[in-house]
Amino acid sequence: MSAEGALLFARYAYPPNELGYCGPADAAGLLRRDATADIERRARQFEGAWCYLEYLAETAGLPDPLDARVVEAYWIGNDLLDRVDPAALVERMTDRFRGQLGGTWREAGRRALAHHSFQVFEVYPWAPMLRSSGNPTALSVLDQCRIRTGVVLGADSQVATVRSRPLSWNGAELVTGAWREETVRCSAGGRTLIDSLAPGDRVALHWDWVCDVLTDEQAWHIESLEERRRTALRPLVL
């Protein structure tokens, strides 16, 4: 098991686990840098994410679903995504997500992607709910549940002020809105998986949490893969 990959998984998985949306109880266990074996045990209980991690590892010929390259592919994006056959992924998901209601993933045999953006926009029911009714709760969940990028304006050991672009619904499609400032957390209960933040850092955000400091290439992957997902959904809303 890769300790680096386990910690990378924890950086991104902590906020929805804390909110009770996925994973086991006691989310604080994900913030223990010295307990990567326990993080691996916890990661296996994230039924959605673990399915993708296992499949990415298999297609890449890697023995460890928490290999750092695999974890990066799922949350951020990298070239391992190109090795996955969309139809085969949907077939795997049909078995794993048999009871999942809503979503458009069952018809996604040509566009399925082993990336968190696919889980958010096509497996969860929020995007169809937004399309059918303009539901503001659905828009809020989609905005916060996706991995999004931001730029740090200022930070201390507990919170950061970042500049980011929210999702907006124009009545026909999801688009990115105007730049905004938001306050997000970078630690909880005195625990953090980020060493430090500085103004100008590009960061990954999940819910109200700073997951990681990004390279320009990583930020590009997050933004372009989300745009690809939103573009794929456009014909479905007409």
Please report whether residue 188 resides in a domain: no
Domain that holds residue 60: 3-145+215-237
**Which two structure tokens, joined as six digits, stand for 205?**
């955000």
Does 161 fall in a domain?
no
The predicted model scores a pTM of 0.95
Q: Decide if 228 is inside a domain.
A: yes
Query: Under 8 Å CB-to-CB from 14, ≥6 apart: which residues?
Result: 27, 30, 31, 188, 193, 209
In a domain, 24, yes or no: yes
Q: Residue 131: inside a domain, yes or no?
A: yes
Strands 209-213 and 148-155: unpaired
Tokens read off for 28: 């604080």
Rg (CA), the chain: 17
Instruction: Examine residue 50 and state whether it is found in any structural domain, yes or no.
Output: yes
In a domain, 210, yes or no: no
Domain assignment of residue 178, yes or no: no
Within its chain, how far is the Cα of 134 from the centroid? 23
Confidence of residue 237 (pLDDT cuts 50, 70, 90): very low
Q: Considering only CA atoms, which of 54, 55, 122 is closest in space to residue 89?
A: 55
pLDDT band of 90, cuts 50, 70, 90: very high
Contact predicate 129/135, CB 8 Å: yes
pLDDT (tens digit per residue) in 103-153:
888 888 899 999 999 999 999 888 888 887 778 899 999 999 999 999 999
Q: Structurally, how many domains does the chain consist of? A: 1
Which pLDDT value is given to residue 236?
54
Nearest CA among 11, 76, 72 for reference residue 39: 11
154-176: per-residue pLDDT in tens? 999 999 999 999 999 988 889 99
Angle ∠(71,54,104) on CA atoms, nearest 5:
90
